Amino acid sequence: METERIALSQRERDRLKVLHEVKQKHLTQVAAAKRLKVTDRQVRRMLLRIRERGDGALVHGLRGQPSNRKLAARFEHKILERLRQRYADFGPTLAAEHLAKEGFLVSRETLRKWMTKAALWRPRSQRVKTVHVWRERRASFGELVMQDSSPFRWLEERGPACQLIALIDDATSRVWARFTEHDTTEENLRTFQGWLRRYGRPLAHYTDKNNIFRTARPAALPEQLRGEGARSQFGRALKELGIEWIAAHSPQAKGRIERLFETLQDRLVKEMRLAGIDSIQGANHFLEMHFLPEWEQRFTVAPRHARNAHRRLGQEHRLEEILSVRAARKVAQDHTVSWEGNRWGVSRKKSALVYGSAGGNRAAAGWFRTGCASAIAICACATVRNRPARGKSFRPTASSPYRKATIKSLQKCPAQPPMADISYGRKQDISTLR
């Protein structure tokens, strides 16, 4: 005779065990009722059902039976046909809202169950997760260089919070990095300049989609006339250097530099703690003179091809000009431009390009280029302040502060060449000063 199989829940198995103890006289009915948290009359009813129908009597009578509130099968079929016709790519929640507008009232969870059974919807637990396959390293040193920054308490509590901007070669894992106070365009350009001066121009540069590397602004008119899209200052520098820019669509795509930061946040922090580094300047010196040379000896790998894909910097690649922040300014009627809260004197042109050296004081270390003329250095002491109102005739006296920004004051700046007189009320040809 075939043994009957009964599916019991955990609660029903616990009840059956207690009732068997009562049948064997190991437990009284009152004690069993207290343990099961029912009355002793209920215990006697369950014992009677077990005696008549066996252990299966404890299974609820409605188990396996259709619910009295179940929607009709014809209605379910009609809903699914409507979904296939009009809402095939809708989710359960949105589909339930639109079906309700058509008079088909069904809850979103019921609809989710029907759509899952009909393969119109796949629950999140059944979806195939995206697998990021490991990409093979590039063949040669300089084919692809990755750049990113990492905000972290690199100096722990000994010094200020700072950023580590790093570059890593994809083929060899060779690293160049700098600590900076902020993650800005100037600091990223300055760090990239260190790589260019050491190794040359790589074929491709790999970054994320940060606004330092990609801009969302519409293209300016000169860019539209050249048939180009809008570029950030960093993107413009890569274009002028002939380096391809590749954007990562996910953190996993630039996993090599992400794993680099994970390693540095462990090793570098502890090494600087042992060395007692407590400033950004000291951290950069330790990084360049001690940590990076040791890293290169231990962790760099040999590329598959021995050739160096870096290209040499030519005479046309003036890094100080290319790796700078540029801003277009219109020359005013007094032959000055406004920049960074100061006014600077320039030659008599209609417009001017303002260059600020990356990482430095942009106003003091800046220069101007007007049209195709050569660059004209501007002294910080030559700035014009308190400009008089336009349209009024103005003749400063001999003791006026506007008289002080003249050739004599400019010649007191040994670090910068002299420029045209920008004082009001005097005219002088700029060619006499060159």
Q: pLDDT at position 206, please?
A: 94
Residue 21: what residue type?
Answer: E
Kind of pairing between the strands at 336-339 and 342-345: antiparallel
Residue 270 amino acid letter: K
Q: How do residues 112-158 score in pLDDT, each as one tens digit?
A: 999 999 988 988 887 777 666 778 899 999 999 999 999 999 999 99
Write out pLDDT tens, residues 199-248.
999 999 999 988 888 887 887 777 777 767 778 889 989 999 999 999 99
Say how far apart CA 225 and CA 289 lie, in whole Å. Answer: 47
> Could you tell me which residue, 328 or 57, shows the higher pLDDT?
57
284 with 268: CB under 8 angstroms? no
48-52, 93-97, 302-306, 334-338 — which is least confidently predicted? Answer: 334-338
pLDDT band at 351; cut points 50, 70, 90: low
The whole-chain average pLDDT of the chain stands at 79
- Cβ atoms of residues 5 and 51 within 8 Å: no
Rg (CA), the chain: 39
CA distance 57 to 59: 5
Sheet of 175-180, strand order: 175-180, 162-169, 145-152, 204-207, 244-247
Q: Quick check: 404 pLDDT over 70?
A: no
| Parallel, antiparallel or unpaired: strands 145-152 and 162-169 | antiparallel
Task: Tell me if 48 sits within 8 A of 57, measured CB to CB.
Answer: no
Region 298-327: what's the mean pLDDT? Answer: 89
More confident residue, 367 or 226: 226
Q: Which amino acid is at 394?
A: F
Burial class (CB in 10 A: 0-12, 13-18, 19+), 258: middle
Q: How far apart are CA 32 and CA 17, in angstroms?
A: 10
Whole-number percent of the chain with pLDDT over 90: 46
Residue with tokens 């068997």: 20
pLDDT in tens, 33-59: 999 999 999 999 999 988 888 888 888
Asked if residue 365 has pLDDT above 50, the reply is no
Average pLDDT over residues 177-193: 93
Per-residue confidence at 354, pLDDT binned at 50, 70, 90? low
Query: Above 60 in pLDDT, residue 392?
Result: no
Sequence length of the chain is 434
Q: How far apart are the first and last CA of the chain?
A: 116
Q: pTM of the prediction?
A: 0.56
Q: What is the pLDDT of residue 345?
A: 73
Question: pLDDT by residue (tens digit) across 254-282?
Answer: 889 999 999 999 999 999 999 999 999 99
Please tell me the predicted confidence (pLDDT) of residue 92: 92
